[in-house]
Amino acid sequence: MTKLNKDPSLTHEQKLDRLGEVAVRVGLGLQPGQELVMTASLDALPLVRRITEHAYKAGASLVTTLFSDEEATLMRYRHAPDGSFDVASGWLFDGMASAFRNGAARLAIAGENPSLLAGQDPDKVSRANRARSKAYMPALELIAGFDINWTIASFASPAWARAVFPNETEEVAVAKLWDAIFAASRVDLVDPISAWGEHNKALHARTKLLNDKRYSALRFVGPGTDLTVGLADDHEWEGGASTAKNGIVCNPNIPSEEVFTTPHKNRVSGHVTSTKPLSYQGTLIEDISVRFEEGRIVDATARKGSDVLSKVLDTDEGARRLGEVALVPDSSPISASGLLFYNTLFDENAACHIALGQAYAKCIRGGDTMSPEDLAARGANKSLIHIDWMIGSRHIDIDGIGANGSVEPIMRQGEWA
Amino acid sequence: MTKLNKDPSLTHEQKLDRLGEVAVRVGLGLQPGQELVMTASLDALPLVRRITEHAYKAGASLVTTLFSDEEATLMRYRHAPDGSFDVASGWLFDGMASAFRNGAARLAIAGENPSLLAGQDPDKVSRANRARSKAYMPALELIAGFDINWTIASFASPAWARAVFPNETEEVAVAKLWDAIFAASRVDLVDPISAWGEHNKALHARTKLLNDKRYSALRFVGPGTDLTVGLADDHEWEGGASTAKNGIVCNPNIPSEEVFTTPHKNRVSGHVTSTKPLSYQGTLIEDISVRFEEGRIVDATARKGSDVLSKVLDTDEGARRLGEVALVPDSSPISASGLLFYNTLFDENAACHIALGQAYAKCIRGGDTMSPEDLAARGANKSLIHIDWMIGSRHIDIDGIGANGSVEPIMRQGEWA
Ligand SMILES: [Zn+2]
Ligand SMILES: [Zn+2]
Ligand SMILES: [Zn+2]
Ligand SMILES: [Zn+2]
C-alpha cells in the first residue's frame, strides 16, 4: 500500500478532520502567529470547526469566521425595500482588506445552494451582486494579487448535494457528495500531505513546459466552438502551489487540477459554447454561447439564466473580456467522477475553462510588482467580476499557435497531446 | 382582558417572533434604509432569523450578523500559542465602527454560557478580554455615546439554561428560561408594543423625579454595605427609551427596569458587598467585597473568581472607579421571578447596581456634545471596561443626600420610599 493509495479504514469524521488539516497546511500553508479570516455558510460548521482547530494547532493567533445564512439572504429578497439591493456591507469587506494588509490569511468555504436565488427578480440579483462585487474589490485585489496566502475548500451542504444527486434521498446525496469532495481533495489517501506534494510537482512540470513554449495564442475547436484565445504578452502559466507576496506557499484551490494563464484582453476571437452549466451566485446559467471580436463579447445567448448572464456582462467594460484561460485534461479525477457539480470549484477542475473579468497579476511574468497600467499594457483584463465557465470536453481539440504562426497540438479529444 | 394582560394562547414560535418584533421596533426603533449589524452566538440562530425578518419588514437595507462560536473560543484556549492571547480582531471592530458612522444600527444578542471559560488560565482570559476591549473601543464609544440606536436582547442557550435551572433536564431548563425571557421582555402580553410604551412612561416619570431632586450623593446601607456614591456634577438620570444622536428613539436593553446615572469618579467612599454573582465573559465572580477611597477601589476580595476580578481592576486607571449607579426596586418583575440569571442583562434589572469603568455621556446634562475633557471635569469616568455588579436587595436602604447635607429616603428595604 503506497501513500497514494486510498485508505478504506477512514471514517467520515477522520476524513473531515483531514480535510481541515489539508486546508490549513496545504491550502493556506498557515504560519505561526498568522490571523485567519474564514467565510462559510452556517451549514459548514462541522468543517469550520475542524479547520479552526488545525489553524490553532498550526499556531494561528486568532481565527475569525464570518458565517452567512442563506435563509437571511432569502428574507432580504422577500421583504427588503427595492432600493436596498444596491447596498453591500462595505465596512465588513474593508475590515477584511485591512486584516489582509496586516498579515491575515484567507479561507473561503464553498458549497452553497447552486440555485438559491432561482425565481428571484434578476434585476435585484444583479444589483446585489454588483454592489457586493464593488464593495469586495479592495479585499479581492489583495487576494487575486496574491498579497496573502489564501485558499478555497468546500463542504457538502444538503442543497448542493440534492442538486448533484437529484435521485437520491438527502442523506445519501450528502454522503455521496462528501465522498466526491474527499476524493477530489485527496484526503481519502493514506498520506494526503505527500499526495498533494506529488500532485503539485506534476502541475509544476506542466506549467514549465507551457511557459517554455511561449505560445502567442490557443485555438479551441469542437462542436459549437472555434475560439482563438490570444495570450497576454509575458504571460505566465500557473498551477498547483503558488508563493504569495508574503513569501508563504499556498494552494489556492482544494481541489485543483488546472494550469492557467492570462489571455490578452483584446486578442480573443471566434465563438464558443459552454460544456457544463454555470452556477453563478445562486443562479444556474446553461448552454452559454458567445462570439468574441477583438477580445470583446459581441453576442451572447444562454438557454437558461440569460437574464442574469446579460446583466453580468454589463457589470463593467472588463466583464465582456477574458481574464483567464485554463487547461484541464478530460481524464482528471474530478471529470472522471462523471458528476456535474454545479459548483465552479469542482466543475472548473473537470474541464478546460475561460473566465470573464479580472485577470491574475501572478499570470504575467513580474506582474506581482507591476502597476495596473503596466499590467493592462500587456493585455491583462480588469473587472469587478471573475467568472469561470467550462468550455472543455472530450470533443475538444486545442492547438498552441507560435509567434511565427506555427501550430502544435496541445490537447486532442480532451487529453494532453 | 387589557393589553397589559398575558395572552395564554401564544405558542413558543409566536412569542419568539414577537421578541424579534420588539427587538426591532422597540429596542432599535429601526428606520427604513438603515443597515443593521447584529452579533450573536450560533445557538441564537432562531431568534436571529426572527429579528432579521422584522428588520427587513421595517425597511432595513442590509442585515449583517456576526456569529460567534463558543466551541471555537475553547479551541483557542486549548491549542493557540500563548502569545496569541494579546491579539484581537481589531479589523472587524473597526469595520463595525465604520458601519455605525455610516448610520448602521446595532443589536447584540446575549445568552452566552456564563461559565464558558471556567477552568481556563485566568491570565490568558484577562489578556484576551483586555485585547478585545481595547480593539472594541472605537465601536463601543459610538454605542456608549449613543451616536446610534442600539439594543441588547437575549436568547435561552442550553448552557445558560442549565446554569439558571441546574435541577431540570436541559429541555425543561431551556423552556423555563425562554418563559422568563418572554415575560421580562413583555412579549407574552396581549399587546407588547403598547406595554413597552406604558413601561417607558413609568420609567421616565421616575427619572424626572430624581432629576428634579439634584442629589449630590446616594448612600447605600445594608448588610456588609455602607457606601456613599457622589453623583457627577450635572448628572442626568436616564431610564427606558432614549433618543440617540441620530434622532432615533431606542430602548437599549430588552428587558430594562433600571433608572441610572453617572457617579463622580473621585467621590465614592465606603464599602460594599455584591448581592448576586457576576458573570464576566465566561467567569463567575461571587461575593465581591470592595472598599472605596476618594472614588478608587483600594481593597477588593471575592470568594470565587478573585483572580479574574483583580486582573479586571488592573485593566486601566478607570477600572477601579465607578461609571454608573442604577436603581431597581426589589419588586421589579425580574427580581420577583426569584431567579438568579448569571447574566448581567437580567440580574442588573433585578437589583440596584453599580458599574466599574466607562460612564455614559448621556448621563451628564449636555454630555452628548461635550469633549472628553469636559466630561471628566464633571466627574465622568473613562475606562476600557463597563462591568455592572449587583449591590441591591430587600435588605438595603438608600438615602439621597442634598448639596446642603439634607438626607431623604429614596428606597427602604429595596422599595421606592
Ligand atoms: Zn481556473
Ligand atoms: Zn478562475
Ligand atoms: Zn445598569
Ligand atoms: Zn451598566
Please tell me the predicted confidence (pLDDT) of residue A333.
85
Inform me whether the pLDDT recorded for B1 exceeds 70.
no
Q: What does the mean pLDDT of chain B come to? A: 95
pLDDT in tens, A360-405: 999 999 998 899 999 999 999 999 889 999 999 999 999 999 999 9
> How far, in Å, from the CA of A356 to the mean position of ligand 3?
55
Residue B43 in contact with residue B156, Cβ under 8 Å? no
Closest CA–CA distance from residue B79 to any residue of chain A (Å): 5
The Cα-based distances of B163 to B43, B167, B274, B304 in angstroms read: 16, 9, 19, 16
Residues on chain A bordering chain B, Cβ-to-Cβ distance under 8 angstroms: 32-33, 35, 42, 45, 48-49, 52-53, 56-57, 59-67, 69, 71-72, 75-76, 78-81, 83-84, 87-89, 91-92, 94-96, 98-99, 102, 104
Chain A and chain B share a number of CB contacts under 8 A equal to 129
Bridge partner residues of A297 (DSSP): A292
> How far, in Å, from the CA of A343 to the mean position of ligand 2?
12
Q: Give the cell for residue B403.
A: 448639596
Complete domains list, chain B, with CATH: 12-184 (3.40.1830.10), 213-238+258-416 (no CATH)
The Cα-based distances of A207 to A328, A369, A413, B24, B219 in angstroms read: 12, 21, 20, 56, 79
Contact at CB, B102 and A92, closer than 8 angstroms = no
Inform me whether the pLDDT recorded for A67 exceeds 70.
yes
Cα(B391)–Cα(B345) distance, integer angstroms: 15
Cα(A245)–Cα(A243) distance, integer angstroms: 7
Q: Give the cell for residue B182.
A: 418572554
**Out of A42, A60, A72, closest to residue B80 by CB:** A60
Q: Give the cell for residue B149.
A: 440606536
> How far, in Å, from the CA of A324 to the mean position of ligand 1?
7
User: How much helix, strand and coil, in percent to the nearest 5, is found in chain B?
Assistant: 40, 25, 35
Say what percent of chain A tops pLDDT 90.
88
The Cα-based distances of B75 to A47, A370, B85, B112 in angstroms read: 14, 41, 12, 16
The total number of residues shown for chain A amounts to 417
**Out of A57, A69, A88, closest to residue B65 by CB:** A69
B242 backbone dihedrals φ, ψ, rounded to 5°: -140, 145
Inform me whether the pLDDT recorded for B381 exceeds 60.
yes
Handedness of CA A70, B107, B22, B181 (dihedral sign): positive
Where helices occur in B80-121 by DSSP H, the ranges are: 90-101
Cα(A288)–Cα(A268) distance, integer angstroms: 17
- DSSP at B254: S
Residue B291 in contact with residue B299, Cβ under 8 Å? yes
Contacts of A71 in chain B (CB under 8 A): 49
Contact at CB, B33 and A81, closer than 8 angstroms = yes
Sequence letter at residue B33: G
Inform me whether the pLDDT recorded for A1 exceeds 60.
no
> What is the chain A residue with the closest CA to B75?
A53
The 10 Å CB-count burial string (b at 16+, else e) for A217-240 is bbbbebeebebbbbbbebbbbbbb
Residue B277 in contact with residue B350, Cβ under 8 Å? no
pLDDT in tens, A19-34: 999 999 999 999 999 9
Q: How many CB atoms lie within 10 A of CB A78?
A: 11
Contact at CB, B91 and A99, closer than 8 angstroms = yes
Longest CA–CA span in chain A (Å) reads 61
Contacts of A102 in chain B (CB under 8 A): 91
Contacts of B45 in chain A (CB under 8 A): 42, 69
How confident is the model over B347-361, as a mean pLDDT? 94
- Interface probe for A, chosen from B54, B91, B98, B132 (most Cβ of A below 10 Å), is B91
Question: Could you report the predicted ipTM of this complex, rounded to two decimals?
Answer: 0.89
Closest CA–CA distance from residue A60 to any residue of chain B (Å): 6
pLDDT in tens, B383-416: 988 999 999 999 999 999 999 999 999 999 999 9
Contacts of B72 in chain A (CB under 8 A): 48-49, 52, 63, 65
pLDDT in tens, A285-318: 999 999 999 999 999 999 999 999 999 999 999 9
Bridge partner residues of A355 (DSSP): A324, A388
Is the pTM value of this prediction over 0.80?
yes
Contact at CB, B69 and A80, closer than 8 angstroms = no
Residue spans of beta strands (DSSP E) within A165-282: 217-222, 225-231, 242-243, 249-250, 259-261, 263-273, 278-280
How confident is the model over B180-197, as a mean pLDDT? 95
Cα(A21)–Cα(A254) distance, integer angstroms: 12
**Out of B56, B72, B92, closest to residue A80 by CB:** B56
Which residues make Cβ contacts (< 8 Å) with residue A293, sequence separation at least 6? A269
pLDDT in tens, A35-61: 999 999 999 999 999 999 999 999 999
Contact at CB, A84 and B91, closer than 8 angstroms = no
Among A47, A355, A86, residue whose Cα is nearest residue A177 = A47
Q: How far is CA A157 from the centre of its chain?
A: 18
Cα(B36)–Cα(B150) distance, integer angstroms: 9
Contact at CB, A99 and B89, closer than 8 angstroms = yes
As residues whose CB is below 5 A from the ion ligand 1, the structure lists A 258, 260, 326, 348, 388
Question: Confidence class of residue B3 from pLDDT cuts 50, 70 and 90?
Answer: low
- DSSP at A383: -
Residue B264 in contact with residue B346, Cβ under 8 Å? no
Q: How many CB atoms lie within 10 A of CB A126?
A: 21
**Out of B56, B69, B94, closest to residue A76 by CB:** B56
Contact at CB, A32 and B91, closer than 8 angstroms = no
pLDDT in tens, A212-265: 999 999 999 999 999 999 999 999 999 999 999 999 999 999 999 999 999 999
In this structure, which ligand is nearest to the CA of A387? 2
Q: What does the mean pLDDT of chain A come to? A: 95
Show the 3-state SS of B32-91. CCCEEEEEEEHHHHHHHHHHHHHHHHCCCCEEEEEEECHHHHHHHHHHCCHHHHHCCCHH
Question: Confidence class of residue B232 from pLDDT cuts 50, 70 and 90?
Answer: very high
Of the candidate ranges A359-363, B25-29, B288-292, the one whose mean pLDDT is the lowest: A359-363
Question: Confidence class of residue B280 from pLDDT cuts 50, 70 and 90?
Answer: confident
Handedness of CA A340, A341, A343, A348 (dihedral sign): negative
Handedness of CA B51, B56, B60, B63 (dihedral sign): positive
Contact at CB, B80 and A72, closer than 8 angstroms = no
Please tell me the predicted confidence (pLDDT) of residue B145.
85
Between B293 and B333, name the one with better pLDDT: B293
How deeply is B193 buried, as exposed, middle or buried, from its count of CB atoms within 10 A (0-12, 13-18, 19+)? middle
Inform me whether the pLDDT recorded for A281 exceeds 80.
no
Inform me whether the pLDDT recorded for A3 exceeds 70.
no
Closest CA–CA distance from residue A40 to any residue of chain B (Å): 11
Inform me whether the pLDDT recorded for B85 exceeds 50.
yes
Contacts of A76 in chain B (CB under 8 A): 56, 62-63
How confident is the model over B349-372, as a mean pLDDT? 93
Among B196, B231, B233, residue whose Cα is nearest residue B367 = B233
Inform me whether the pLDDT recorded for A416 exceeds 50.
yes
